């Protein structure tokens, strides 16, 4: 038996990682496919995707879009990754059915209810958990798996080391973002746009509030920060240079952000990662500097590794920019006037050409910034078309860009490249990424041999040749001829990689038979890419509504407190119970003992909102204090809810705290709520993404009795891995070398309207930027009580004991019908505690 193998491109047995590119519209889809994306993700205009502002695709065109993707041998994933409301579930259902009929390869979801619905209607449909789901540890991944998810896109705040640890044990594929814009907040946890303008980031309508300027206020005094104003605007992610590390982390897919970006960005970035991946797999040379620059040139706020190498509070946010700057190309050395033209003079070490865009960096928040296209270039007193390096280059930006002022010493960026489109066309025209096939031809003398083609994702087709293997009369068929015939994949999306031949020595085959088999195998490959789904068209969503059988929890007014003085004050004022929300968790033990010695009311504890690998011990420590109730705030703690899965404490059986799933679990519809309640949860707090009408609609059912509604709180706007305090009050990179300024200072950010936004750090050094004015649901209290809601909550941040007492007394009067909502607002305002409607406002 002859047994030969050969490798073209040496893809061999190495694990292939998918390059997943964004497609905000048809042009971007073409750009992604042309530049070699293995898969693309996109939304439809029917809504429910995290980029509502992208052009997206018409639902009716889904079939055509998927055919185009599959014809190219690629995969297409539909984004359905927003929170949805009950009245929208029928529309979501239509999209799920359309997705199955169009044979999308996966649907990307955030909402528990959408996942449950999709899996029930189309059990074979693959689901990917969006990064919006905030999966940060193994239990959160397991929870996603319970919802039917096949792949999890991890939170962008995880380091590669943490990702590697998760990938070792993950029961599903993991995907990470490697390129593009970063959110300053954990995705799925940003409530800023909702609180400020009623535009929910969890509904794809983020207003980019993190890109606005802020002042820093420390202990009540504004701190001078020079040109730094964009204190929450992170640089963009660019991990193309660390591709071997990405591969080593055990992930299955590398995602590129950018469904709002232009096709040039999609083409350049996809191409860059394709090249970097090929180099890391030993299939091609390293990308050149120009490949890197093309991508950066299309869109970049300055490249960074985000959190992939761990936190670095000094490097993530530069503070001087909030928008695209492109590539830094030099420094301004002054100006010169010739006639009526003022020329900028600069030193540059980069290529600059006529028509390129440049930006001369301004002062704070872009003050006196200058930008425009290059109209004229002079080097060594000569007019030139382009220059690559110059110590005294003169640039004129045209009549509409007068140069006033002194720009000496300012950094200069090239924001656009006149030749960009041409460069990309040229590079991509000879850059066609093909899918590598593992081929095998095997058979015995006198039998028809079997030709197998296998794709990297293990999809395989087997085709029997229409002619048997014969003994060679003269010359046996040569290996190289078989390879040459099977490698004829010219205008297909495939290329032959490995070829194994297992046929007897001294035999031959008709070449025409080999050709026919190859063509048939290619045809069948296209079919294998189109997954067949069986759709339960008559599925009744009501069947997902498994109402709880346990009794609802006791009602009352509960208060989250940041210190023991607040807790004492609110319990004295008549609160039904407290949750100690001591972010740093220090002092919890003495506090719980002190309060128990004075009050008989239940004392609960709020768990951190993010739980990374290794941080389960915080939950275990808190459980060890035996609070009467636990506010579960992360998917990880929801999954490992100690009632459900047991606690590693010796006499745990006697300990039965009440567990409440908090707002950060993002419940906005009945299916999600019931899923959460089915996990031994006594009550849930609806997402803060619901406005007043949506809140009433959700709770006007048996669910109302299982809800705990927040009546009064300042909205937690951004919840961040980035520590603003360490970044701006120290030179430290993380908690080990920051000197802990958080212990000594009270820090706030002041927004453009002059509102002070408190910044609070938790045990994991995660910062929450909190709204400076509380919002009140007082107007809704009566309707909610009518719907059966019995548990209400007030959340405190920096209120004094007296203010805390005033709030509790006021809301107790409201709930006892002793004080109508408008009177309560007046009372609170008179006590220096004004309220707004905030996210409860009903818009449109």
Determine if 248 is a binding residue for ligand SF4 (CB under 6 A): no
Task: Write down the least CB distance from residue 177 to ligand SF4, Å.
Answer: 13
Of the candidate spans 28-36, 505-513, 616-624, 737-745, the one that interacts with ligand SF4 by CB under 6 A turns out to be 737-745
In whole angstroms, the minimum distance from the beta carbon of 306 to ligand SF4 comes to 13
Token reading at 376: 């004229």
Q: How far is the CB of 733 from ligand SF4 (least distance, A)?
A: 9
Relative to beta strand 835-836, strand 603-606 is unpaired
Q: Which residue has the tokens 């993707």?
A: 69
Cα(566)–Cα(288) distance, integer angstroms: 59
Q: How many positions of this chain bind ligand SF4 (CB under 6 A)? A: 23
Q: For residue 613, which of 85, 174, 69, 123 has the smallest C-alpha distance?
A: 174
The interface region with ligand SF4, picked from 102-110, 117-125, 611-619, 723-731 by CB under 6 A, is 723-731
Q: Which of 98, 99, 118, 183 contacts ligand SF4 by CB under 6 A?
A: 183
Smallest distance, ligand SF4 to C-beta of residue 401, A: 30
Q: Is 583 in the site for ligand SF4 (CB under 6 A)?
A: no
The residue among 110, 210, 84 whose CA lies nearest residue 717 is 210
CB of 209 to ligand SF4, least distance (A): 4
Name the minimum Å distance from CB 178 to ligand SF4.
18
Please, what is the minimum distance in Å from the beta carbon of residue 316 to ligand SF4? Answer: 12
Alpha-carbon dihedral sign for residues 646, 648, 652, 657 = negative
Kindly tell me which residue out of 190, 276, 461, 665 binds ligand SF4, with binding defined by CB under 6 A.
Answer: 190
Q: Does 728 bind ligand SF4 (CB under 6 A)?
A: no
Q: Which is nearer to ligand SF4, 316 or 677 (CB)?
A: 316
From the list 177-185, 330-338, 370-378, 618-626, the region that binds ligand SF4 by CB under 6 A is 177-185
User: Among residues 225 and 442, whose Cβ is nearest to ligand SF4?
Assistant: 225
Of positions 571, 725, 777, 794, contacts ligand SF4 by CB under 6 A: 725
Q: Which is nearer to ligand SF4, 132 or 694 (CB)?
A: 132
Count of CB atoms situated within 10 Å of the CB of 408: 11
* Residue 317 in contact with ligand SF4, rule: CB under 6 A: no
Q: Considering only residues 401, 460, 735, 756, which one is a binding residue for ligand SF4 as defined by CB under 6 A?
A: 735
Q: Which of residues 745-774 bind ligand SF4 (CB under 6 A)?
A: 761, 765
Q: Is 322 in the site for ligand SF4 (CB under 6 A)?
A: no
Q: 193 or 433, CB closer to ligand SF4?
A: 193
Our CB check for ligand SF4 shows the closer of 200 and 433 to be 200
In whole angstroms, how far apart are CA 419 and each of 33, 294, 796? 22, 10, 56
SS3 category, 68:
helix
Nearer to ligand SF4, 299 or 453 (CB): 299
- 200 to 239: interface string for ligand SF4, x by CB under 6 A: -x----x-xxx-----------------------------
> Whose Cβ is closer to ligand SF4: residue 739's or residue 821's?
739
Question: What are the b/e assignments for 701-740, b being 16+ CB within 10 Å?
Answer: bebbbbbbbbbbbbbbbbbbbbbbbbbbbbebbebeebee
Q: Which stretch binds ligand SF4 (CB under 6 A): 181-189, 302-310, 549-557, 596-604?
A: 181-189
Q: How far is the CB of 179 from ligand SF4 (least distance, A)?
A: 16
Using the contact rule CB under 6 A, the part of the chain among 184-192, 324-332, 616-624, 628-636 near ligand SF4 is 184-192
Q: Token pair for residue 765?
A: 């050094």
For ligand SF4, give the closer residue by CB, 14 or 745. Answer: 745
CB 638 within 8 A of CB 661: yes
* DSSP code string of 316-382: SB-SS-SS---EEEEEEEEEEEETTEEEEEEEESS-EETT-EEEE--SGGGTT-EEEE--EEEETTE
Q: Based on CB atoms, which residue is closest to ligand SF4, 190 or 487?
A: 190
CA distances from 99 to 19, 288, 403, 742 (A): 21, 39, 54, 49
- Smallest distance from ligand SF4 to CB 728, Å: 10
Q: Shortest Cβ distance from residue 741 to ligand SF4 (Å)?
A: 5
Per-residue CA distances from 838 to 118, 631, 665, 689, 691 (Å): 33, 23, 20, 11, 9
Least distance CB 722 / ligand SF4 (angstroms): 9
Closer CB to ligand SF4, 317 or 632, in the complex: 317
User: What is the helix (H) or strand (E) element at residue 748, kind and residue range?
Assistant: strand 747-750
Torsion of CA 248, 252, 254, 260, to 10 degrees: -160
Q: Return the residue of 248, 310, 548, 741 that touches ligand SF4, per CB under 6 A.
A: 741
Taking residue 591's Cβ as centre, other Cβ atoms within 10 Å add up to 22
Nearest by Cα to 38 from 17, 56, 68: 17
- Provide, rounded to whole angstroms, the least separation between the CB of residue 52 and ligand SF4: 12
Q: Which is nearer to ligand SF4, 225 or 418 (CB)?
A: 225
- Choose between 634 and 767: whose C-beta lies nearer to ligand SF4: 767
Cα dist from 244 to 35, 279, 515, 762, whole Å = 20, 9, 38, 34
Tokens of 354: 């006529």
CA distance 613 to 640: 13
Rule CB under 6 A: is residue 368 a binding residue for ligand SF4?
no
Which among 362, 349, 342, 494 is positioned nearest to 404, based on CA atoms? 342
Q: In whole angstroms, what is the distance from residue 635 CA to residue 139 CA?
A: 7
The reply to whether 193 sits near ligand SF4 by the rule CB under 6 A is yes
Pull the structure tokens for residue 169: 């044990």
Stretch of residues binding ligand SF4 (CB under 6 A), selected from 258-266, 513-521, 573-581, 733-741: 733-741
The backbone region for 333, taken as left when phi is positive above 0, alpha when psi lies in -120 to 50, beta otherwise, is: alpha
Nearer to ligand SF4 among residue 132 and residue 390 (C-beta): 132
Q: Is 733 in the site for ligand SF4 (CB under 6 A)?
A: no
Q: Does an H or E element contain 512, and which?
A: helix 511-529
Q: Is 184 in the site for ligand SF4 (CB under 6 A)?
A: yes
What are all long-range contacts of 424-433, with beta carbons under 8 Å and residues at least 24 apart? 424/264, 424/267, 424/268, 424/271, 424/294, 427/271, 427/291, 427/294, 428/34, 428/35, 428/267, 428/271, 431/35, 431/36, 431/271, 431/274, 432/34, 432/36, 433/35, 433/36, 433/37, 433/274
| 155 contributes a contact to ligand SF4 by CB under 6 A | no
Using CB under 6 A, list all residues that contact ligand SF4: 183-185, 190, 192-193, 201, 206, 208-210, 718, 723, 725-726, 734-735, 738, 740-742, 761, 765
């Amino acid at each position: 038996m002859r047994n030969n193998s050969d490798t073209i491109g040496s893809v061999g047995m190495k694990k292939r990682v998918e390059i997943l590119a964004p497609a905000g519209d048809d042009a971007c889809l073409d750009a992604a496919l042309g530049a070699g994306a293995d898969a693309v993700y996109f939304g439809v205009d029917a809504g429910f995707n995290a980029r509502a502002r992208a052009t997206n695709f018409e639902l009716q065109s889904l079939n055509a879009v998927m055919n185009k993707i599959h014809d190219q041998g690629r995969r297409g994933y539909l984004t359905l990754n927003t929170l949805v409301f009950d009245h929208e579930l029928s529309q979501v259902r239509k999209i799920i059915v359309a997705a199955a009929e169009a044979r999308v390869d996966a649907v990307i979801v955030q909402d528990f209810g959408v996942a449950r619905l999709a899996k029930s209607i189309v059990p074979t449909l693959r689901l990917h958990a969006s990064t919006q789901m905030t999966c940060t540890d193994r239990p959160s991944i397991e929870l996603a798996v319970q919802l039917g998810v096949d792949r999890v896109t991890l939170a962008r705040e995880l380091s590669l080391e943490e990702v590697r640890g998760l990938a070792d044990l993950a029961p599903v594929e993991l995907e990470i973002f490697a390129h593009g814009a970063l959110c300053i907040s954990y995705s799925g946890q940003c409530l800023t746009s909702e609180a400020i303008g009623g535009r929910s980031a969890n509904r794809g309508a983020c207003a980019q509030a993190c890109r606005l300027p802020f002042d820093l206020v420390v202990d009540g005094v504004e701190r001078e920060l020079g040109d730094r104003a964009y204190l929450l605007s992170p640089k963009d992610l660019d991990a193309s240079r660390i591709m071997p590390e990405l591969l080593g982390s055990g992930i299955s897919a590398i995602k590129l952000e950018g469904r709002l970006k232009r096709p040039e960005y999609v083409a350049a970035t996809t191409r860059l990662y394709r090249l970097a991946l090929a180099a890391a797999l030993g299939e091609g040379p390293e990308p050149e500097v120009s490949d890197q620059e093309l991508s950066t040139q299309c869109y970049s706020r300055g490249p960074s590794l985000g959190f992939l190498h761990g936190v670095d509070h000094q490097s993530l946010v530069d503070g001087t920019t909030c928008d695209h700057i492109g590539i830094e190309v030099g420094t301004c050395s002054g100006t010169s006037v010739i006639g009526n033209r003022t020329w900028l003079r600069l030193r540059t070490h980069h290529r600059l050409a006529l028509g390129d865009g440049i930006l001369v960096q301004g002062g704070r928040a872009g003050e006196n910034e200058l930008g425009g296209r290059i109209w004229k270039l002079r080097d060594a007193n000569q007019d030139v078309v382009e220059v690559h390096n110059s110590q005294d280059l003169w640039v004129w930006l045209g009549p509409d860009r007068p140069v006033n002022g002194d720009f000496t010493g300012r950094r200069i960026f090239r924001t656009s490249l006149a030749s960009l489109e041409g460069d990309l066309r040229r590079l991509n025209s000879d850059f066609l990424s093909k899918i590598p096939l593992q081929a095998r031809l095997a058979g015995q003398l006198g039998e028809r041999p079997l030709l197998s083609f296998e794709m990297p994702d293990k999809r395989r087709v087997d085709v029997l040749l229409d002619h048997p293997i014969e003994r060679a009369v003269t010359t046996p068929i040569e290996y190289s001829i078989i390879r040459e015939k099977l490698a004829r994949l010219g205008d297909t999306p495939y290329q032959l990689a490995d070829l194994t031949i297992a046929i007897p020595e001294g035999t031959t085959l008709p070449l025409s038979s080999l050709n026919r088999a190859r063509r048939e195998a290619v045809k069948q490959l296209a079919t294998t890419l189109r997954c067949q789904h069986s759709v339960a068209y008559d599925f009744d969503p009501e069947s997902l509504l498994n109402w709880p059988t346990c009794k609802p929890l006791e009602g009352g007014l509960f208060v989250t407190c940041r210190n023991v003085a607040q807790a004492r004050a609110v319990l004295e004022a008549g609160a039904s119970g407290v949750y100690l929300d001591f972010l740093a968790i220090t002092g919890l033990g003495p506090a719980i003992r002190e309060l128990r010695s004075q009050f008989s009311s239940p004392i609960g504890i709020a768990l951190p909102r993010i739980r990374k690998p290794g941080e389960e011990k915080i939950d275990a420590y808190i459980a060890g204090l035996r609070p009467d109730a636990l506010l579960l705030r992360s998917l990880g703690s929801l999954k490992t809810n100690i009632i459900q899965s047991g606690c590693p404490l010796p006499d745990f059986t006697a300990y039965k705290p009440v567990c409440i799933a908090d707002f950060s679990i993002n419940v906005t519809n009945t299916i999600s709520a019931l899923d959460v309640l089915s996990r031994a949860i006594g009550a849930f707090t609806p997402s803060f993404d619901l406005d007043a009408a949506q809140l009433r609609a959700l709770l006007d059912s048996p669910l109302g009795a299982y809800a705990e509604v927040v009546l009064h709180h300042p909205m937690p706007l951004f919840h961040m891995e980035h520590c603003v305090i360490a970044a701006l009050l120290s030179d430290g990179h993380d908690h080990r070398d920051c000197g802990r300024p958080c212990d000594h200072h009270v820090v706030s950010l002041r927004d453009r309207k002059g509102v002070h936004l408190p910044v609070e750090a938790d045990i994991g050094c995660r910062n929450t930027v909190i709204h400076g004015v509380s919002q009140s649901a007082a107007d809704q209290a009566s309707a909610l009580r009518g719907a059966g809601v019995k548990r209400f909550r007030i959340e405190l941040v920096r209120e004094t004991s007296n203010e805390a007492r005033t709030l509790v007394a006021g809301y107790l009067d409201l709930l006892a019908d002793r004080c109508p909502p408008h009177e309560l607002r007046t009372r609170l305002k008179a006590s220096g505690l004004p309220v707004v409607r905030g996210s409860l406002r009903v818009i449109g």
